[in-house]
Amino acid sequence: MSTNNILFSVKDKVALVTGGGLGGIGYSISLALVKNGAKVYIASRDKKKLDESAKQLNSIGPGSCIAIAADLSKQDECKKVAKEISLHDNHLDILVNNSGCNWGEEIETFPDHAWDKVMNLNVKAVFNTTVACLPLLRANATKESPSKVVTIGSIDGIRVPSLETYSYSASKAAVHQLTRTLASRLAGDNITVNAIACGPFYSKMTKATFDKFAEVITSGCPLGRFGNDRDLEGIILFLCSNACNYMTGAILPLEGGILISSNL
């Protein structure tokens, strides 16, 4: 194996990816890790979709996948996931906090429960899942090879969004700040925490918007396209491998240049 392959290797790493069901960014992230030899736990509410995802990922290999059904918007469910992992593995090398939801509606009718739903899953779940997994993340971490936490943010947490997604954009700005705060707190535990500020990636959550506004979205992207699995694989292998042992608290944009053409 070449030096570069070792540097970006996640072979035999143990990972948890929240929201790893088919049709979402979480599945693409899980795919990247499994393809490169990691053992990946995936967790979200939809057991049927999780089981389908795990079956498909296990058929791809060379890594493996285990599904854990849980509602991560609830603190007890976050603890349940960590406990389930601890029954099989005594450590966790990688945690990807990806679970999320969106809500779009005009300002005059934007409902109060949309704030609760989005903030609970997009922000509180990131904190609660990370805290629940701390013993596992600390167990195998060293200064030379820290454990890795990656949070999935959004460019809409940096710029003013083009659509009326008030709770979503606010939640992703909060995710970015929480990433920095956790990075500061957990550095002494040999745990790095970084975020990806994603631009337009086609997924189940974005399907309705993209089907309606695809041309508008791509026209505002200097690279002229949506993100794909390969784009996610590159940044995930970087953030989760020894290539990223000396970076923490960073918010990395993955958005085809949209931010450089936006009025921030």
Check residue 3 and give its pLDDT. 55
C-alpha dist (Å) from residue 72 to 125, 128, 168: 6, 8, 17
Q: What is the DSSP letter of 243?
A: G
| Mean pLDDT of the residues in the chain | 91
Domains and CATH numbers, the chain: 14-254 (3.40.50.720)
Check residue 50 and give its pLDDT. 93
Is 60 exceeded by the pLDDT of residue 1? Answer: no
pLDDT per residue as tens digits for the range 203-253 = 665 666 667 767 777 777 888 888 888 999 999 999 999 999 999 999 999
Check residue 264 and give its pLDDT. 47
- Report, as residue numbers or ranges, the catalytic residues: 168
Give the list of residues 6+ apart from residue 125 with CB closer than 8 angstroms, or none: 18, 72, 73, 78, 97, 99
Question: DSSP of 169-229, one letter per residue?
Answer: HHHHHHHHHHHHHHHHHHGGGTEEEEEEEE--B--TTTHHHHHHHHHHHHHT-TT-S-B-H
Rounded mean pLDDT of 154-167?
A: 86
Write a three-state SS string for 199-213. CCECCCCCHHHHHHH
pLDDT per residue as tens digits for the range 101-139 = 887 888 888 899 999 999 999 999 999 999 999 999 999
Answering whether pTM is above 0.85, one says yes
